[in-house]
């Protein structure tokens, strides 16, 4: 495992619990933090359920599951993470929240602790500049769902040094995943390509070119996508899609990244996708039903 043996994860939500899962399974000691005990308990339940699925499929043994769960501890105190070798911030996709977390962490960090963010779009250089160690700061972007998806984007800020990048690359390999190196520009690689495609699908719906069902069916059967773009938007979260489009629009100043007004309207309504039971589909019944 090289120099990194202990990992702190900030945020026990969809991404945070998935990151904790894969690190614990790979043999790292994990400390998970969130602002509520309920979130930490929910995360542990989710991790247990997902490990059970892996056991059922024969991907891991029961003993692997037990050992992984034994490596995950939790705390409500952010400063407890300070002495970990590697810290991964996986809080909500709001720069002000992330900045506040790093500023609170800095006084408690060990001298060699590496700081990373799982941000899907925000400038790594800018986040790093709010810490005392921009050279030991990296973008560490996992894909959702973390236990399933193979890719990790590694994003260097302008000050990130080579030992930090190399250490994190070794971690990705230890996790059994594949790293793609991205430059620090808005939304990096995956979301620079993916989210504008989703936004264009929303425009296609907004302009009446096709229905929710026809747009998703067309992309699944016509482009061999495993999920239609509107179905995928619901899975990601429409608020997250809008946030990334805003980062692209603000960061690149190009009108082609203007968020679709219909996407904005859904977010204003609180219809954020699967997590709120309504988005481009209504998930409150037995089967998802298009909302338009």
Average of per-residue pLDDT across 64-75: 98
Which residue blocks in 79-131 are alpha helix, DSSP H?
A: 95-105, 124-128
Residue 246 bears catalytic tag: no
* CATH 1.10.1040.10-classified regions of the chain: 192-290
**Average model confidence (pLDDT) for the chain?**
96
How many other CB atoms sit within 10 Å of the CB of residue 99?
A: 16
Given the residues 17, 50, 117, 120, the one annotated as active site:
120
Which residues, other chains included, contact 286 with Cβ-Cβ below 8 Å and sequence gap of 6+? none
Tell me, which fold does domain 6-182 have in CATH?
Rossmann fold (3.40.50)
Residue 84 burial (10 A CB sphere; 0-12, 13-18, 19+): buried
* CATH 3.40.50.720-classified regions of the chain: 6-182
Residue 249 bears catalytic tag: no
Looking only at the bridges linking them, the beta strands covering 29-33 and 6-10 are parallel
Residue 191 bears catalytic tag: yes
Dist CA 36 CA 248 (whole Å): 32
Say whether pLDDT at 235 is over 80: yes
User: What was the pLDDT predicted at 226?
Assistant: 95
Given the residues 17, 117, 191, 243, the one annotated as active site:
191
- The one-character DSSP state at 46 is H
Cα–Cα nearest to 34, from 61, 58, 13: 13
Dist CA 224 CA 287 (whole Å): 23
Average of per-residue pLDDT across 252-263: 97
Residue 3 bears catalytic tag: no
**Domain 192-290, classified CATH 1.10.1040.10, yes or no:** yes
User: What was the pLDDT predicted at 183?
Assistant: 94
The CA-based diameter of the chain, rounded to the nearest angstrom, is: 56
Given the residues 50, 89, 123, 153, the one annotated as active site:
153
Contact 290, 271 (CB under 8 A): no
Given the residues 117, 141, 199, 243, the one annotated as active site:
141
User: What was the pLDDT predicted at 101?
Assistant: 97
- The one-character DSSP state at 140 is E
Dist CA 195 CA 216 (whole Å): 15
């Amino acid at each position: 495992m090289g120099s990194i043996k202990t990992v702190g994860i900030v945020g026990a939500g969809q991404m945070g619990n998935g990151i904790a899962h894969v690190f614990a399974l790979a043999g790292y000691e994990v400390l998970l933090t969130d602002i509520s005990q309920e979130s930490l308990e929910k995360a542990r339940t989710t991790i247990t359920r997902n490990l059970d699925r892996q056991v059922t499929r024969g991907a891991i043994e029961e003993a692997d599951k037990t050992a992984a769960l034994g490596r995950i501890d939790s705390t409500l105190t952010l400063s407890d993470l300070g002495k970990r070798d590697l810290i991964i911030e996986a809080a909500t996709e709001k720069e002000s929240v992330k900045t506040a977390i790093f500023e609170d962490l800095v006084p408690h960090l060990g001298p060699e602790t590496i700081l990373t963010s799982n941000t899907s779009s925000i400038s790594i250089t800018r986040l790093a500049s709010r810490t005392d160690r921009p050279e030991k700061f990296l973008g560490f972007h996992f894909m959702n769902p973390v236990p399933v998806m193979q890719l990790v984007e590694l994003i260097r800020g302008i000050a990130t040094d080579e030992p930090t990048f190399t250490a994190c690359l070794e971690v990705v390999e230890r996790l059994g995943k594949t790293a793609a190196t991205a430059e620090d520009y808005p939304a990096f690689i995956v979301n620079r390509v993916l989210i504008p495609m989703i936004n264009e699908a929303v425009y296609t719906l907004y302009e009446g070119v096709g229905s929710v069902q026809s747009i998703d069916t067309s992309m699944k059967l016509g482009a061999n996508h495993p999920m239609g773009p509107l179905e995928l938007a619901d899975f990601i979260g429409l608020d997250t899609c809008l946030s990334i489009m805003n980062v692209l629009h603000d960061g690149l100043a190009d009108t082609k990244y203007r968020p679709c007004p219909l996407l904005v309207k859904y977010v204003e309504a609180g219809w954020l996708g699967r997590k709120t039971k309504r988005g481009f589909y209504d998930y409150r019944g037995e089967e998802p039903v298009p909302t338009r």
